[in-house]
């Protein structure tokens, strides 16, 4: 242990601990801007400077390890003056139109300016006029260089967590900025639209494209019948924006709030998550039969999940030779969109052209996905608008709804019922677990042999997980799988996906099924979720997801009565003609540069 004093208070910490973490142990908060717990240390903003006795210069607390006998002052006059000047310098290059900014009230730079009572600008305003033109070429992400403080959190996020490197530090001196390859617009580069950079940006230099006004217009249009779907990860995070602690489930209140906002029908993406399991599980079993019984050599195995649009765009750019390994299933959002403009209006007696389909997602990449040309099989754009969890919270606030006092309500029937298997889609490993629950029972006629259906080997926050399951006692139709060992893998975060994809490409991965989610922790850590994000917060959301699953009366997708109904009345059977027409698609190769 290392013994030191911080503000004259003794403390003992592990060797290698930074001054920043040592101070937190004593409940001293040192301000930061470039530091983020998910990322490597940069130490370039200098807001966290502290005074170390005997040192000539102030030290960056986030990057300085403690030493035995060290005496640190975190709030001396010298420290306060230095921090105030650093903030003033940052503001001199920052477009401070705070009242119009999407991050107003949630901007870390604004918070520090308030804390240090920054009034009139001490330094010249150096914001260049050309920087004030935001890049809104992407349907998912807006990039505003006039708000950038060059903390480089976004660069480290894109490199370390996602291994995409769509953003980089360009040039030096007063020309330095965060840009893309050849400073191309965001929609022309390898950006996967995952939004992880947004979740870690301290200002509004990066933010989601917002479509709240379009949704209000649709709600107020008497000709429109507005349906809304909500992803499983929204219900365990929305409360963070509206007064609840992380990990509190607000499913019933969310449904009540959506009705109060004026949506004509409040439905659930979980319904089509269950439908995804029926289609994707059948597709996997069909591929296994083609490979093992029919001995076809061109069967694309392992099969990859296709629920995450950030992952889809990543593989289109980075591993186009493996595109055939993707499941042909659309994501639950897009399956819902197709049915919302075919099956739903048919049952309700509504003209499909009057259906306006809104999706509430934890994910910014869903905004890109809904505008893909492949997503129009209903004869219309299947999903009209995607809002993030944050945007839904904003609408609730705009409407003056006291969210905490709302009584719980349930989703409407018809595309509103779901199972626990659908809920766990929101966590890494959840799609895999839901698929195994159903596929194993189809093949053997028995429940999966795990206590309370909890397939723990595929759960957890490890970047890459592997599991295997021996199949015994098959029903006659699936006897060819008798004694087979199903091998699966799970990755979350695209840097981890790269590890698996390299192994598959190089012939070193003997898996049958691989789940990939673009975001750390899965959808619950998506780019549209409440800010801040950290491993601790994602762990609490994960616990909430599994608690929601265990509280559901039905926990296997194939036992959802509404799924049975839609196959009987509309789709026919999994992988049938109608399903292929509406619920399946293919993707395309994209250039890297």
Residue positions annotated with a catalytic role: 280, 283, 307, 327, 366, 369, 374, 523
Distance CA 181, CA 159 (A): 14
The partner residues of 59 in beta bridges, in order of sequence, read 50
* Cβ neighbours of residue 408 closer than 8 Å, sequence gap 6 or more: 251, 252, 253, 255, 256
Strand, coil or helix: what is 239? helix
CA distance 44 to 35: 9
User: What is each CA distance from 116 to 86, 110, 329, in whole angstroms?
Assistant: 11, 10, 53
Residues 208, 492, 283, CA angle at the centre, nearest 5°? 105
Alpha-helix runs per DSSP H in 168-295: 196-200, 212-219, 251-261, 269-292
Q: What is the 3-state secondary structure (H, E, C) of 275-294?
A: HHHHHHHHHHHHHHHHHHCC
For 398, other C-beta atoms within 10 Å of its C-beta total 11
Map residue 516 onto helix, strand or coil.
strand
Residue 544 phi, psi dihedral angles, 5° rounding:
-65, -40
Tell me how far apart the alpha carbons of residues 574 and 280 are, in angstroms, rounded to a whole number. 9
3-state secondary structure of 168: strand
Rounded Cα gap, residues 526 and 583, in angstroms: 23
């Amino acid at each position: 242990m290392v013994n030191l004093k911080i503000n004259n208070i003794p403390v003992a910490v592990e060797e290698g601990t930074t001054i920043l973490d040592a101070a937190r142990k004593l409940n001293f908060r040192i301000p930061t801007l470039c530091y983020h717990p998910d990322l490597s240390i940069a130490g370039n903003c200098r807001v966290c400077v502290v005074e170390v006795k005997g040192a000539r210069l102030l030290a960056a607390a986030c990057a300085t390890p403690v030493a035995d006998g060290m005496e640190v002052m975190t709030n001396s006059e010298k420290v306060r003056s230095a921090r105030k000047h650093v903030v003033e310098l940052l503001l001199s290059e920052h477009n401070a139109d705070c009242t119009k900014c999407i991050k107003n009230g949630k901007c870390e730079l604004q918070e520090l300016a308030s804390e240090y009572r920054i009034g009139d600008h001490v330094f010249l305003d150096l914001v260049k006029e050309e920087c004030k033109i935001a890049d809104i070429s992407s349907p998912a992400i807006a990039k505003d260089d006039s708000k950038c403080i060059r903390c480089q959190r976004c660069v480290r996020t894109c490199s370390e967590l996602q291994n995409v490197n769509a953003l980089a530090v360009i040039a030096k001196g007063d020309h330095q900025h965060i840009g893309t390859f050849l400073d191309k617009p965001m929609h022309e580069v390898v950006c996967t639209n995952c939004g992880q950079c947004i979740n870690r940006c301290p200002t509004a230099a990066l933010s989601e494209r917002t479509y709240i006004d379009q949704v209000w217009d649709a709600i107020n249009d008497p000709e429109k019948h507005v349906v809304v779907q909500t992803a499983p990860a929204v219900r365990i995070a929305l409360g963070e924006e509206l007064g609840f602690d992380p990990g509190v489930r607000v499913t019933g209140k969310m449904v009540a709030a959506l009705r109060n906002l004026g949506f004509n029908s409040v439905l659930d993406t979980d319904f089509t998550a269950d439908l995804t399991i029926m289609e994707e599980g059948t597709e996997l079993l069909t591929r296994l039969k083609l490979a093992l019984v029919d001995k076809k050599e061109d069967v694309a195995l392992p099969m990859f999940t296709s629920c995450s649009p950030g992952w889809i765009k990543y593989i289109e750019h980075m591993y186009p030779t493996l595109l055939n390994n993707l499941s042909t299933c659309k994501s639950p959002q897009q399956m819902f969109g197709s049915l919302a403009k075919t099956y739903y209006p048919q049952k309700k007696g509504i003209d499909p052209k009057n259906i306006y389909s809104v999706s509430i997602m934890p994910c910014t990449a869903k905004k890109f996905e809904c505008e893909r040309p492949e997503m129009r099989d209903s004869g219309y754009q299947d999903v009209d608008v995607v809002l993030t969890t944050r945007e839904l919270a904003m609408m609730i606030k705009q409407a003056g709804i006291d969210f905490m006092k709302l009584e719980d309500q349930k989703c409407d029937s018809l595309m509103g019922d779901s199972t626990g298997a659908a809920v766990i889609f929101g966590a890494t490993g959840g799609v895999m677990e839901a698929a195994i629950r159903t596929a194993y029972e189809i093949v053997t006629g028995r429940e999966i042999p795990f206590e309370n259906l909890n397939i723990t080997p595929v759960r957890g926050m490890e970047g890459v997980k592997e599991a295997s399951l021996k199949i015994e006692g098959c029903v006659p139709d699936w006897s060819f799988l008798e004694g087979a060992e199903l091998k699966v893998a799970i990755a979350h975060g695209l840097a981890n996906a790269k590890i698996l994809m390299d192994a598959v490409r190089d012939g070193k991965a003997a898996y049958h099924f691989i789940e990939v989610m673009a975001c750390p922790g899965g959808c619950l850590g998506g780019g549209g979720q409440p800010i801040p994000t950290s491993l601790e917060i994602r762990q609490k959301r994960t616990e909430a997801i599994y608690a929601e699953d265990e509280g559901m009366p039905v926990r296997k997708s194939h036992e959802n009565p509404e799924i049975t109904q839609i196959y009987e009345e509309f789709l026919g059977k999994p992988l049938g003609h109608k399903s292929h027409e509406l619920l399946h698609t293919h993707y395309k190769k994209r250039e890297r540069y």
